[in-house]
Structure 1
Amino acid sequence: MTDLKLIALDTEDLEIISAHAQDAIIRTADMGYAKGDKRFALLMNRFDWESDKPRGKGLRKRSALYFNGVTHAAFAGFDPAAPEGVVELLAIVFEPTDAPSGIIELRLAGGGTVRLTVEYIEARLADLGAAWAAAAKPSHRLD
Structure 2
Amino acid sequence: MSEDAKFEDGGEAPLRILAADEEDLRVVSALCQDAVAQTSEMSWKRSRREFALLLNRFRWEYHADRPGQPAERVQSTLVVDDVTRVRANGVDPADKELVLSILSLGWTPAEDGQGTLTLLLAGDGEIALEVESLNITLTDVTRPYLAPSRKVPDHDT
Q: Under a length normalisation based on structure 1, what TM-score does the superposition of the two structures give? A: 0.95
Q: Contact 1:96–1:102 (CA<8 Å) still a contact in 2?
A: yes
1:25-69 deviation line (CA, Å, top 9, x unaligned)? 011100111111111000000000111131134200000011011
Segments of structure 1 that go 5 or more residues without pairing to the other structure are none
Paired residues for 1:102-141 under 5 Å: 102-134=115-147, 135=149, 136-141=151-156
Segments of structure 2 that go 5 or more residues without pairing to the other structure are 1-11
Tell me the equivalent position of 1:25: 36
Q: Contact 1:24–1:88 (CA<8 Å) still a contact in 2?
A: yes
Q: Flag the structure with higher strand content.
A: 1
Tell me the equivalent position of 1:91: 104
User: Helix, strand or coil: the match of 2:61?
Assistant: helix
Tell me the number of residue pairs that the alignment of Structure 1 and Structure 2 aligns. Answer: 142
User: Helix, strand or coil: the match of 1:130?
Assistant: coil
Q: Under a length normalisation based on structure 2, what TM-score does the superposition of the two structures give? A: 0.87
Alpha-carbon distance between aligned partners in 2 of 1:99 and 1:113, rounded to the nearest angstrom: 24
Q: CA RMSD in A?
A: 1.2
Tell me the equivalent position of 1:72: 85
Match of 2:47 among 11, 32, 36: 36
Over the matched positions of the two proteins, sequence identity in percent amounts to: 35
Alpha-carbon distance between aligned partners in 2 of 1:23 and 1:78, rounded to the nearest angstrom: 17
Tell me the equivalent position of 2:23: 12
User: After TM superposition, what 4+ stretches of structure 1 lie above 6 angstroms from structure 2?
Assistant: none
Q: Contact 1:49–1:58 (CA<8 Å) still a contact in 2?
A: no
Shift of 1:129: 2.2
User: Helix, strand or coil: the match of 1:67?
Assistant: strand
Tell me the equivalent position of 1:61: 74
* Residue type at the aligned position of 1:141: D
Larger Cα-atom Rg: 2
